[in-house]
Chain A
Amino acid sequence: MLPEPTLTHYLILSAVLFSIGTAGVFLRRNLITILLSVEVMLNAVNLTFIAVDKFRGTFDGQIIVFFVITVAAAEAAVGLAIVIALFRHKETLNPDAFTSLKW
Chain B
Amino acid sequence: MLYLIPLFPFLGFLVNVTLGRRLPKKVSGGVATAAMAFAFGYSVLAVYNLLHSAPVDGVRSMESTVFTWISSGRLDIPLSFRLDPLSSIMILVVTGIGTLIHLYSTAYMLEETGSEYARYFSYLNLFAAFMLVLVLGANFPVMFIGWEGVGLCSYLLIGFWFTKPSAAEAGKKAFVVNRIGDFGFILGMLALFATFGTLDFQGVAKAVAALPPGTGEALITGITLLLFLGATGKSAQLPLYVWLPDAMEGPTPVSALIHAATMVTAGVYMIGRNAVLFSHAPFTLDVVAVVGVATALMAGTIGLVQNDIKRVLAYSTVSQLGLMFLAMGVGAFGAGIFHLYTHAFFKALLFLGSGAVIHALHGEQDIRKMGGLMKALPITFQTFFIGTLAIAGIPGLAGFFSKDEILWKTFSSGHTILWAVGVVTAFLTATYMFRLTFLTFYGERRAAPEPHATDHAAHPPSPAASARQADHGHGHDHGHGKHLHDAPSAMAIALIVLAFGSIVAGYIGIPAVMWKDGNQIEHFLDPSFEAHGVAAAAAEPVAEAGEDHASTEWALMGVSTAVAVGGWLVAWFYFRRKPSAADAMARSFAGIHKLLLNKYYVDEIYDRLIVQPIKAISSGVLWRAVDAGLIDGTVNAVGLVVRGWSAVLRRLQTGSMRAYAMSLFLGVVTILGYFLWR
| Cβ contact within 8 Å between B657 and A95 | yes
| Cβ contact within 8 Å between A101 and B658 | no
Q: Is B662 an interface residue (CB 8 A)?
A: yes
| Cβ contact within 8 Å between B661 and A101 | no
Min CB–CB distance A54 → chain B (angstroms)? 25
**B668: nearest residue on chain A (CB-CB)?**
A22
Indicate with 1 or 0, residue by residue over A69-101, a CB within 8 angstroms of chain B CB atoms.
000000000000000000000000001101111
CA distance A26 to B657 in the complex (A): 10
In chain A, positions 18-37 with a C-beta closer than 8 Å to chain B are 22, 25-26
| Cβ contact within 8 Å between B661 and A26 | yes
| Cβ contact within 8 Å between A95 and B658 | yes
CA distance A22 to B656 in the complex (A): 17
Stretch at the interface among B105-113, B305-313, B647-655: B647-655
Q: Is B665 an interface residue (CB 8 A)?
A: yes
| Cβ contact within 8 Å between A103 and B650 | yes
Q: Is A56 an interface residue (CB 8 A)?
A: no
| Cβ contact within 8 Å between A103 and B661 | no
Question: When the two chains form the complex, which single residue of A22, A98, A103 contacts B657, counting CB atoms closer than 8 Å?
Answer: A98
Question: When the two chains form the complex, which single residue of B655, B658, B661, B665 contacts A102, counting CB atoms closer than 8 Å?
Answer: B655
What residues of A have a CB within 8 angstroms of the CB of B658 in the complex? 26, 95-96
In chain B, positions 642-678 with a C-beta closer than 8 Å to chain A are 650, 653-658, 661-662, 665
CA distance A22 to B653 in the complex (A): 22
| Cβ contact within 8 Å between B655 and A99 | yes
What residues of A have a CB within 8 angstroms of the CB of B665 in the complex? 22, 26
Interface size on B, residues (CB 8 A): 10
**B650: nearest residue on chain A (CB-CB)?**
A103
| Cβ contact within 8 Å between A26 and B656 | no
Question: When the two chains form the complex, which single residue of A25, A98, A100 contacts B661, counting CB atoms closer than 8 Å?
Answer: A25
Min CB–CB distance A37 → chain B (angstroms)? 11
**A25: nearest residue on chain B (CB-CB)?**
B661
**A22: nearest residue on chain B (CB-CB)?**
B665
CA distance A99 to B657 in the complex (A): 7
CA distance A12 to B656 in the complex (A): 32
| Cβ contact within 8 Å between B653 and A103 | yes
Min CB–CB distance A8 → chain B (angstroms)? 17
Min CB–CB distance A18 → chain B (angstroms)? 11
**Chain A interface helix/strand/loop/mixed:** loop
Indicate with 1 or 0, residue by residue over B616-658, a CB within 8 angstroms of chain A CB atoms.
0000000000000000000000000000000000100111111
CA distance A56 to B653 in the complex (A): 45
CA distance A103 to B649 in the complex (A): 11
CA distance A101 to B650 in the complex (A): 12
Min CB–CB distance A14 → chain B (angstroms)? 15
What residues of B have a CB within 8 angstroms of the CB of A101 in the complex? 655
| Cβ contact within 8 Å between A99 and B661 | no
| Cβ contact within 8 Å between B655 and A26 | no
CA distance A96 to B657 in the complex (A): 7
CA distance A103 to B648 in the complex (A): 12
In chain B, positions 147-162 with a C-beta closer than 8 Å to chain A are none
Min CB–CB distance A34 → chain B (angstroms)? 9
CA distance A22 to B668 in the complex (A): 12
| Cβ contact within 8 Å between B653 and A102 | yes
What residues of A have a CB within 8 angstroms of the CB of B657 in the complex? 95, 98-99
CA distance A54 to B650 in the complex (A): 48
CA distance A94 to B626 in the complex (A): 56
| Cβ contact within 8 Å between B654 and A99 | yes
Min CB–CB distance B264 → chain A (angstroms)? 66
What residues of B have a CB within 8 angstroms of the CB of A22 in the complex? 665
CA distance A71 to B417 in the complex (A): 99
CA distance A98 to B655 in the complex (A): 7
Min CB–CB distance A44 → chain B (angstroms)? 14
**B657: nearest residue on chain A (CB-CB)?**
A95
**B653: nearest residue on chain A (CB-CB)?**
A102
**B659: nearest residue on chain A (CB-CB)?**
A99
CA distance A96 to B662 in the complex (A): 14
| Cβ contact within 8 Å between A26 and B654 | no
Given A22-B665, A26-B662, A26-B665, are A96 and B650 also a contact pair (CB < 8 Å)? no
Residue among B650, B661, B665 with the highest chain A CB neighbour number at 10 A: B661
| Cβ contact within 8 Å between A102 and B662 | no
Min CB–CB distance A101 → chain B (angstroms)? 5
What residues of A have a CB within 8 angstroms of the CB of B653 in the complex? 102-103
| Cβ contact within 8 Å between B656 and A99 | yes
Min CB–CB distance A39 → chain B (angstroms)? 15
CA distance A101 to B654 in the complex (A): 8
Indicate with 1 or 0, residue by residue over A54-74, a CB within 8 angstroms of chain B CB atoms.
000000000000000000000
CA distance A22 to B658 in the complex (A): 12
CA distance A25 to B665 in the complex (A): 11
**B658: nearest residue on chain A (CB-CB)?**
A95
What residues of B have a CB within 8 angstroms of the CB of A103 in the complex? 650, 653
CA distance A22 to B669 in the complex (A): 12
Min CB–CB distance A11 → chain B (angstroms)? 15
CA distance A103 to B655 in the complex (A): 8
CA distance A72 to B12 in the complex (A): 68
| Cβ contact within 8 Å between B655 and A100 | yes
| Cβ contact within 8 Å between B661 and A96 | no
CA distance A25 to B650 in the complex (A): 25
What residues of A have a CB within 8 angstroms of the CB of B654 in the complex? 99, 102
**A29: nearest residue on chain B (CB-CB)?**
B658
What residues of B have a CB within 8 angstroms of the CB of A99 in the complex? 654-657
CA distance A95 to B654 in the complex (A): 13
In chain B, positions 309-344 with a C-beta closer than 8 Å to chain A are none
Known: A26-B662, A96-B658, A99-B656. 4 other contacts (CB 8 A): A96-B656, A98-B655, A102-B650, A103-B650
A-B residue pairs in contact (CB < 8 Å), sample of 5: A99-B655, A99-B656, A102-B653, A102-B654, A103-B650
8 nearest interchain CB pairs? A102-B655, A99-B655, A103-B650, A102-B653, A95-B657, A101-B655, A99-B656, A103-B653
